[in-house]
C-alpha cells in the first residue's frame, strides 16, 4: 500500500473520527488536557493534526501554539479553529504534545528537534504496534515503550509516569536539569 499524501491522510483521519465533528474525540482531547493542568501553562502541540488537542488545551486554559507540516491539516485547522495559533517553527514550552507523531519521524529528525527545543514535559504517545497500514500511515519509526524511554534518556528525559489519556501507551516524560 502506498503512502497517503497529505490530503488523503487528512481525509482518512476525518473518516475515522479524528475531527471537530466527533463528540467522542472531542471528549478524549478534553480529558487529555484536564490531566495536564498541574504540569505547566504553555503548550506546543507538535504535529497538531486536525487541531482538536490544541483546541481542548486552549479551552482548558493553556497558552497553546501549534506546529503542523501538512498544508491540508493547516487549512482544516484554520477553517474549524481559527483561534489556534499555528507557528512555522517549534518552540520550547512547559509541555509538548507529541501525540502519535514520533512514529512518522526518523531518529535523526527527532534528535534535531530536541537539540532545538527543550520542553519541561513531553506528553508522549506513539503506537508500539506494527500493522498492515504502517506504510500508508507513514509509520517509519515504531518502537516499544522501553525503547522510547531509552531514546529520550539521550536528551535528559525520564519517564515520569504513565498517563490515562489519550492512549493506553501514553506517558509523561520529564526533563531533568531544566536549563
Global pTM reads 0.93
The pLDDT of residue 5:
84
Q: What span, in angstroms and rounded, lies between the C-alpha atoms of 67 and 49? A: 9
Residue 2 has what DSSP assignment?
P
Tell whether the model's pLDDT for residue 9 goes beyond 90: no
Helices then strands, counting H and E runs in the chain, come out as 7, 7
Q: What span, in angstroms and rounded, lies between the C-alpha atoms of 171 and 166? A: 9
> pLDDT higher for 110 or 136?
110
Please say whether the beta carbons of 32 and 123 come within 8 A: yes
Q: What span, in angstroms and rounded, lies between the C-alpha atoms of 54 and 29? A: 8
Neighbours of 162 (CB within 10 A): 11
Tell whether the model's pLDDT for residue 76 goes beyond 90: yes
Average pLDDT, stretch 161-169?
94
> Would you say domain 6-175 falls under CATH 3.40.50.720?
no
The pLDDT of residue 149:
95
Amino acid at each position: 500500500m502506498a503512502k497517503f499524501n497529505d490530503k488523503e491522510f487528512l481525509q482518512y483521519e476525518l473518516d475515522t473520527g479524528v475531527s471537530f465533528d466527533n463528540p467522542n474525540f472531542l471528549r478524549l482531547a478534553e480529558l487529555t488536557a484536564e490531566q495536564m493542568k498541574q504540569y505547566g501553562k504553555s503548550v506546543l502541540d507538535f504535529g497538531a493534526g486536525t487541531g482538536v488537542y490544541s483546541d481542548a488545551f486552549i479551552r482548558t486554559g493553556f497558552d497553546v501554539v501549534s506546529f503542523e507540516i501538512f498544508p491540508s491539516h493547516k487549512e482544516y485547522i484554520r477553517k474549524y479553529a481559527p483561534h489556534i495559533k499555528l507557528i512555522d517553527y517549534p518552540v520550547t514550552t512547559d509541555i509538548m504534545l507529541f501525540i502519535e507523531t514520533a512514529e512518522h519521524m526518523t531518529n535523526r529528525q527527532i534528535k534535531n528537534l530536541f537539540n532545538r527545543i527543550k520542553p519541561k514535559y513531553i506528553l508522549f504517545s506513539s503506537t508500539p504496534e506494527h500493522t498492515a497500514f504502517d506504510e500508508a500511515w507513514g509509520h517509519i519509526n515504531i518502537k516499544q515503550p522501553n525503547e522510547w524511554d531509552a531514546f529520550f534518556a539521550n536528551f535528559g528525559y525520564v519517564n515520569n509516569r504513565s498517563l490515562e489519556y489519550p492512549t493506553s501507551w501514553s506517558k509523561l516524560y520529564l526533563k531533568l536539569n531544566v536549563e
